[in-house]
């Protein structure tokens, strides 16, 4: 089934209710999970089924066998497929497990990539589904938030407990330790989260190649996507890690291992190099 993004004014109440219900049916329901899922829900909620009257699309219908064939090759259930009406080429997958998964392609990626390149992208996204990456990153996000809360809690406890002591020197040491932990713990946890995100992208690249047996197709697709400088309008920092390539197109030209620590994706050049070596 294919869907297309429409304006928010056209969204019926039933769609929002359906999205909310599907999120609440998740594997682990806490306020943190619901908050983390909100950007995804907002994106999916503005996606409605394409009717025959809405489609000028022989091209879109031609993509249906592509997804079906890749699903069969990967041994995964065929996911729902959404189309985001944006000319920036990109794609992402979401879903807590293969039975409740969806892939979204922008209209730009459908227009700008060849069939083989699109197969590489679709296989990459199917690999995210098969590797349970959305579930993993949700758990990691919860743990990062827990670390931040624990660090803040430790700082407050140390402040109030030390306030009643007479030893000013000990009070100062505990306050400094609490402040350092409160500052560093969330940063370290976030760096670990970003590192996991980069590793999962590389794993999805490799897993996608196992499905298609065509590493050059995905490498060519990544090069095309990276050369397109148009940012994806519906993307934000909270959802950037979901996409096959950085949708914000941050043109900082930062080089080196330190700059890469804060990226959600490995450098395109590194990914392409690894893919070209898979012959």
* Each residue's pLDDT tens digit, 128-139: 999 999 899 889
276's tokens: 């070209």
- Of residues 33 and 267, which shows the higher confidence score? 267
- Res 40: pLDDT: 47
14 catalytic residue (yes or no): no
E strand segments, 6-163: 47-49, 80-84, 91-94, 102-106
Task: Give the β-pairing of 91-94 and 2-5.
Answer: unpaired
Of the pLDDT bands very low, low, confident and very high (cuts 50, 70, 90), residue 16 is very low
- Res 207: pLDDT: 95
- Of residues 11 and 86, which shows the higher confidence score? 86
| SS3 call for 172 | helix
- Res 243: pLDDT: 93
Phi and psi for 5 in degrees, rounded to 5?
A: -70, 135
pTM exceeds 0.75 for this model: no
* Each residue's pLDDT tens digit, 223-254: 999 999 888 888 887 788 889 998 887 655 45
Closest of 77, 14, 90, 76 to residue 48, by C-alpha:
14
Domain 2-130, CATH = 3.30.2010.10
Phi and psi for 48 in degrees, rounded to 5?
A: -120, 155
4 strand-pairing partners: 48, 83
Question: Average pLDDT of 20-49?
Answer: 41
Distance CA 252, CA 276 (A): 26
Average pLDDT, the chain: 75
**Burial grade of 167 (CB within 10 A; 0-12, 13-18, 19 or more):** exposed
- Of residues 103 and 249, which shows the higher confidence score? 103
Give the active site residue among 14, 117, 119, 125.
Answer: 125
Kindly state the DSSP code that residue 88 receives in the 8-state scheme. S
| Domain boundaries defined on the chain | 2-130, 133-276
Q: Which residue has the tokens 């934000």?
A: 236
């Amino acid at each position: 089934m294919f869907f297309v993004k429409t304006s928010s004014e056209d969204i019926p109440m039933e769609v929002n209710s359906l999205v909310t219900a599907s999120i609440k049916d998740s594997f682990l329901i806490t306020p943190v999970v619901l908050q983390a899922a909100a950007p995804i829900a907002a994106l999916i909620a503005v996606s409605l089924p394409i009717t025959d009257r809405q489609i000028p699309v022989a091209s879109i219908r031609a993509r249906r066998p592509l997804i079906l064939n890749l699903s069969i090759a990967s041994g995964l259930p065929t996911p729902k497929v959404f189309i985001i009406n944006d000319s920036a080429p990109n794609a992402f997958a979401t879903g807590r497990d293969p039975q409740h998964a969806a892939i979204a392609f922008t209209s730009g990626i459908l227009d700008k990539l060849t069939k083989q390149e699109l197969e590489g992208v679709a296989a990459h996204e199917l690999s995210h589904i098969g590797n349970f990456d959305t579930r993993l990153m949700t758990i990691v996000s919860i743990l990062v938030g827990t670390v931040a809360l624990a660090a803040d809690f430790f700082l407050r406890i140390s402040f109030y407990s030390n306030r009643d002591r007479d030893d000013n020197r000990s009070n100062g040491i505990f306050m400094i330790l609490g402040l350092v932990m409160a500052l560093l713990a969330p940063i370290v946890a976030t760096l670990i989260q970003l590192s996991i995100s980069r590793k999962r992208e590389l794993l999805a690249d490799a897993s996608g190649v196992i499905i298609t047996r065509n590493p050059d197709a995905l490498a060519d697709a990544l090069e095309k996507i990276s050369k397109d400088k148009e940012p994806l309008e519906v993307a934000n920092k909270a959802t950037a890690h979901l996409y096959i390539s950085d949708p914000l197109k941050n043109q900082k030209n930062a080089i080196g291992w330190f700059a890469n620590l804060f990226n959600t994706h490995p450098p395109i050049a590194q990914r392409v190099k690894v893919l070209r070596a898979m012959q």
